[in-house]
């Protein structure tokens, strides 16, 4: 089957999990990819044999661990001329590749392509849990507006897909049909990583404007391996008990699999990897990103770690004292590699090949 696969370019989590799904698909089908941002170079390097179309996409801007909406809007406006190229590519793919099925990882170009050409479409992402499931955590009062806005956005993003495959480490009841939940999609390096309990805490921070991170860590006992604080760093820099790590996918996975705990935001990909590897997490979600807040709330509800709004030395110290308790709770998480979502995806594609559309219309 000819499949068009769309990957949103904001952050690298979508690209990382899409690489896993694409590797499974290309062994069985003809695939072309549309992707924006840094994810384009990442997937192009991973699949040199595939046609990887680069499209213009929206990127969020951050300052002081908060999404800056005005700056994000301005960045969008500056990219408006590039969207004309998207339009031309839209029609070129329709004429040259002629897809029979579309799969979207929260990506709009592929979604609108499916609707334009009346093709079946599958959604694979973690975001749809906001709209299609009955959440069972108490949302902080000052986060209610953010929750409602995020749910409305997600609902409007990819409506009326044939099926929604949602990846998650927590499993609330679904409230809409054509919805299935699966454990996080994990790269082979994480699945095969040898686990151990070292002395260091792995810290992941990609917002360059979050300047107080390293000074705060230097006031704490223990050792910290920090990734992402200096983008482009090629070798390690040591500042007291803090080591700023140069970029290395293998090194990151080794540090994650051997950490005593993890300190990071609320991004789903790293949280899913930490849960799989049994690593307690101290989560500080980005402000204005309710999906991250939801992940952190469930992390705390399940006893896998803690949700915090800032990095506080006393709170982090108490968290590290409780880390063994959280590690014990994490043993409840069950996952047979990526087998469940692979089997479901193969089954859905087979049904579409036989019947065409799986559903006529849905919300």
Residues 347 and 297 in one domain: no
CATH number at residue 211: 3.40.50.2000
Q: Is residue 9 assigned to a domain?
A: yes
Strand stretches in the chain, DSSP E: 2-7, 30-35, 51-54, 62-63, 66-67, 101-105, 121-125, 163-167, 179-182, 200-204, 223-227, 237-239, 242-245, 261-264, 281-283, 305-307
Q: How far apart are CA 271 and CA 281, in angstroms?
A: 8
Distance in angstroms (rounded) separating the CA atoms of residues 166 and 17:
12
SS3 304: coil
Residue 249: inside a domain, yes or no?
yes
Residue 238 and residue 123 share a domain: no
Q: Is residue 363 part of a domain?
A: no
Sites in the chain below the pLDDT cut of 70: 11, 57-87, 207-211, 230-234, 359-363
Distance between CA 204 and CA 11 in Å, rounded?
13
Give pLDDT, residue 356. Answer: 75
Domain assignment present for 362: no
Residues 163 and 30 in one domain: yes
Distance (Å, rounded) from C-alpha 276 to C-alpha 169? 9
Helix (H, G, I), strand (E, B) or coil at 182: strand
- Asked if residue 360 is part of any domain, the answer here is no
| Number of domains forming the structure of the chain | 2
Res 86: pLDDT: 67
Same domain, 196 and 125: no
Does the residue 62 lie in any domain? yes
- Residues 350 and 319 reside in one and the same domain: no
The answer to the question of residue 291 being in a domain is yes
* Whether residues 146 and 228 fall in one domain: no
- Report the distance separating Cα 121 and Cα 259, nearest Å: 39
Pair (171, 277) in one structural domain: no
- pTM > 0.85: yes
Structure confidence at residue 215 (pLDDT): 85
Domain co-membership, 108 together with 9: yes
User: Could you tell me if 194 and 181 lie in one domain?
Assistant: no
Residues 206 and 173 in one domain: no
Distance between terminal CA atoms of the chain?
26
User: What is the C-alpha separation between 319 and 308, in angstroms, rounded?
Assistant: 10
Range of the domain at 171: 2-185+338-355
**Quick check: is 302 in a domain?**
yes
> Is residue 205 within 8 Å of residue 219, measured between CB atoms?
no
Report residue 274: phi and psi, to 5°: -65, -40
| Same domain (yes/no): 19, 131 | yes
- The reply to whether 181 and 314 lie within a common domain is no
- Per-residue confidence (pLDDT) for residue 353, from 0 to 100: 93
């Amino acid at each position: 089957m000819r499949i068009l696969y769309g990957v949103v370019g904001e952050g690298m989590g979508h690209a990382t999990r899409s690489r896993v799904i694409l590797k499974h698909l290309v062994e069985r089908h003809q695939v072309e990819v549309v992707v924006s941002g840094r994810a384009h170079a990442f997937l192009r390097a991973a699949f040199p044999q595939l046609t990887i179309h680069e499209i213009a996409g929206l990127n969020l801007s951050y300052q002081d661990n908060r999404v800056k909406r005005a700056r994000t809007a301005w960045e969008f406006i500056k990219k408006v001329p590039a969207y004309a190229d998207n339009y031309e590519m839209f029609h070129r793919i329709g004429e040259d590749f002629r897809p029979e099925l579309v799969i979207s990882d929260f990506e709009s170009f592929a979604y609108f392509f499916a609707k334009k050409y009346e093709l079946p479409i599958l959604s694979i992402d973690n975001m749809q849990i906001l709209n299609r499931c009955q959440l069972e955590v108490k949302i902080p009062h000052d986060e209610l507006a953010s929750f409602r806005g995020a749910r409305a956005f997600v609902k409007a993003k990819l409506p009326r897909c044939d099926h929604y495959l949602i990846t998650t480490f927590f499993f609330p009841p679904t409230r809409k049909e054509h919805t299935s939940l699966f454990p996080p999609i994990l790269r082979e390096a994480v699945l095969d990583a040898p686990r151990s309990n070292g002395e260091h805490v792995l810290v992941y921070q990609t917002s360059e404007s979050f300047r107080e991170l390293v000074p705060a860590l230097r006031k704490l006992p223990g050792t910290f391996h920090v990734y992402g604080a200096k983008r482009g760093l090629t070798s390690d820099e040591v500042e007291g008990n803090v080591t700023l790590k140069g970029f290395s996918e293998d090194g990151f996975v080794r540090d994650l699999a051997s950490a005593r705990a993890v300190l990071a935001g609320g991004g789903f990909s790293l949280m899913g990897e930490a849960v799989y590897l049994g690593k307690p997490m101290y989560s500080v979600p980005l402000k204005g990103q309710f999906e991250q807040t939801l992940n952190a709330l469930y992390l705390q509800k399940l006893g896998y770690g803690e949700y915090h709004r800032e990095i506080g030395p006393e709170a982090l110290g108490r968290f590290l004292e409780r880390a063994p308790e959280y590690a014990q709770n994490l043993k409840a998480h069950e996952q047979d590699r990526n087998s469940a979502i692979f089997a479901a995806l193969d089954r859905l594609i087979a049904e579409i090949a036989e019947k065409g559309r799986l559903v006529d219309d849905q919300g």
